[in-house]
Amino acid sequence: MDNAKRLVLSSAPHLRGGASIKRDMYIVILALLFPTAGAVYFFGLYVLLMLATAILCAILTEYVAKWMRRQSFHMDGSAIITGILFVLVMPPRTPLWIVVVGSIFCIAIAKEAFGGLGHNIFNPALAGRAFITVSFAGALTRWIAPVHSLLADGVTAATPLGEGFTTTLSNVELYKALFFGNVAGSAGETSALLILIGGVILLAFGVIKWQVPVFYIGTVFILSFLMGEDPIFHILAGGLMLGAFFMATDYVTSPLTTRGKIIFSVGAGILVVLIRKLGSMPEGVAYSILLMNAFTPLIDRYVRPRPYGYVKGVKEEASP
27 with 113, same domain?
yes
> When comparing pLDDT for 138 and 46, which is higher?
46
What's the mean pLDDT in 63-81?
90
Mean pLDDT score of the chain: 85
Secondary structure element (H or E) that encloses residue 290, with its range:
helix 285-302
Digit-coded pLDDT (tens) for 21-53: 788 899 999 999 999 999 999 998 999 999 999
132 with 161, same domain?
no
130 with 270, same domain?
no
255 with 282, same domain?
yes
> When comparing pLDDT for 56 and 304, which is higher?
56
What total of structural domains would you count in the chain? Answer: 3
136 with 226, same domain?
no
Output the CA torsion 185→201→102→296 (10° steps). 110
> When comparing pLDDT for 26 and 174, which is higher?
26
Digit-coded pLDDT (tens) for 251-261: 889 998 999 99
160 with 227, same domain?
no
Do residues 155 and 177 touch, judged by C-beta distance below 8 A? yes
Model pLDDT, residue 30: 95
131 with 64, same domain?
yes
Digit-coded pLDDT (tens) for 183-215: 888 899 989 999 999 999 999 999 999 999 999
- Domain extent at residue 244: 209-302
Model pLDDT, residue 240: 94
Q: Which residue, among 119, 123, 55, 133, has the nearest Cα to 87 in the 3D structure? A: 55
